[in-house]
Amino acid sequence: MVFEIFLTYLKVFVVGGAICTIAQLFINYTKITAGKILVYFLLAGVLLQAVGLYQYLVDFAGAGATVPICGFGYLLADGAIKGAKIGLFEAITGGTTAAAMGITAAIIFGYIFALIFKSKSKRN
Amino acid sequence: MKTSNDCTNQNFLNYVKSISPKTKQRRSLIRAFWVGGVICMIGQTFRYLLEFGLGLSGDELSSYVSMIMIFLGALLTGLGVYDRIGKYAGGGSIVPITGFANSVVSPAMEFKTEGYIYGTAAKMFIVAGPIIVFGIASSVLVGILYFIGLRIF
């Protein structure tokens, strides 16, 4: 049991780290800005899940694959595919439903913390 | 003597120039790797806690894990900690979902002076907006393609 958990953490660390390293490679060797990298990684997650590949990475590495932004893309595509098996309405709303918690959390926490805290960038 | 000294100086400077960007880039890759890996391990810890502590599973489990990670990312951005992590780790802090939260809170705080509607609420989506637009648009595309594909084949 302990060994299994250790092995899972190792997989999470390696896969999550590798995805971030790919992003850093783009930052170092191309002139793509951080915002565009996020969009490309998201679309990569959607595309990989649309052809059914990202599921293997999620089964293998757990949070190492779901915490990076491509995991958000995976969630969107997975919801849409599951919905498509039910009907057209679910096919259209499935992705947004699956991502609803992430988007809602970002809006609610984002707005609350922006109200509470002041920007530090000008003080530095 | 003086010229040779200048020459060695010049050689040394050239040497430094040829070496330093590479090591700097290699260092940035290592930093992105371990910080990104550790953030994912924190996510895995919450996965275990919710799975064995509250008995959640499937979509519910992963949704609550991303909610907690977004909460932490937003809180650390508000406290000014996440920007320091970002300076150190680069891609390691941008790509995890906490970086998504950071990209929401950071401009929202910065543009608070322009008001709560056109400042905070509007500028929240400078970076996150495109992600949501492309994410939802591509998921609808995937859904419709699967819907058609499943009924034809």
pLDDT in tens, chain A (124 residues): 888 889 999 999 999 999 999 999 998 888 888 889 999 999 999 999 999 999 999 999 989 999 999 999 999 999 999 999 999 999 999 999 999 999 999 999 999 999 998 876 554 4
Residue B97 in any domain: the answer is yes
Q: If you count residue pairs, one on A and one on B, with CB atoms under 8 Å apart, how many are there?
A: 290
The answer to whether residue A44 neighbours chain B at the CB level (below 8 Å) is no
Tally of domains within chain A? 1
The answer to whether residue A53 neighbours chain B at the CB level (below 8 Å) is no
The two structure tokens encoding residue B31: 């930093």
Cα-based angle A110, B96, B75 (whole degrees, multiple of 5): 30
- Substitution target in B131, B142, B148 with the highest count of A β-carbons within 10 Å is B142
pLDDT attached to residue A33: 87
Q: Which domain holds residue B79?
A: 21-127
Residue A121 in any domain: the answer is no
pLDDT-derived band at B91 (thresholds 50, 70, 90) equals: confident
Q: Which residues in chain B touch residue A106, judged by CB atoms under 8 angstroms apart?
A: 70, 74, 100-101, 104, 128
pLDDT attached to residue A21: 93
Residue B132 in any domain: the answer is no
pLDDT attached to residue B60: 87
Is the C-alpha dihedral spanning A63, A67, A68, A73 positive or negative? Answer: positive
Cα(B35)–Cα(B38) distance, integer angstroms: 5
| A104 vs B21: which has the higher pLDDT | A104
The two structure tokens encoding residue B104: 């929401």
Tally of domains within chain B? 1
| B26 vs A60: which has the higher pLDDT | A60
Using alpha carbons, select from A92, A24, A68, A62 the residue that is nearest to residue B142.
Answer: A92
Using alpha carbons, select from A91, A76, A102 the residue that is nearest to residue B65.
Answer: A102
Q: Which residue has the tokens 């995805």?
A: A19
Q: Which domain holds residue A13?
A: 2-116
CA distance B55 to chain A (A): 17
The answer to whether residue A51 neighbours chain B at the CB level (below 8 Å) is no
Residue A23 in any domain: the answer is yes
Q: Which residue in the set A25, A35, A85 is minimally distant from B29, CB to CB?
A: A25
Residue B64 in any domain: the answer is yes
Residue B78 in any domain: the answer is yes
SS3 of residue A68 by DSSP: strand
Residue B50 in any domain: the answer is yes
Residue A122 in any domain: the answer is no
pLDDT above 70 for B24: yes
**Closest Cα in chain B to A85:** B147
The answer to whether residue B130 neighbours chain A at the CB level (below 8 Å) is yes
The two structure tokens encoding residue B46: 């919450």
| B15 vs A101: which has the higher pLDDT | A101
Is this complex's ipTM strictly greater than 0.85?
A: yes
Query: pTM (2 decimals)?
Result: 0.87
**Closest Cα in chain B to A59:** B58
| B7 vs B125: which has the higher pLDDT | B125
pLDDT attached to residue B30: 92
The answer to whether residue B56 neighbours chain A at the CB level (below 8 Å) is no
Residue A123 in any domain: the answer is no
- Classify each residue of A55-76 as buried b or exposed e, where b means 16 or more C-beta atoms within 10 Å of its C-beta: eebbeebbbbbbbbbbbbbbbb
Q: Which residues in chain B touch residue A39, judged by CB atoms under 8 angstroms apart?
A: 130-131, 134
pLDDT attached to residue A44: 95
Cα(A76)–Cα(A54) distance, integer angstroms: 12
CB A3 within 8 A of CB B26: no
pLDDT attached to residue B20: 63
Cα(B81)–Cα(A32) distance, integer angstroms: 25
Task: Please list, in sequence order, all residues whose beta carbon lies within 8 angstroms of the beta carbon of residue A44, skipping any fewer than 6 positions away.
Answer: A70, A73
Residue A124 in any domain: the answer is no
pLDDT-derived band at B70 (thresholds 50, 70, 90) equals: very high
Q: Which residue in the set B37, B64, B95 is minimally distant from A69, CB to CB?
A: B95
Q: Which residue in the set A14, A27, A111 is minimally distant from B120, CB to CB?
A: A111
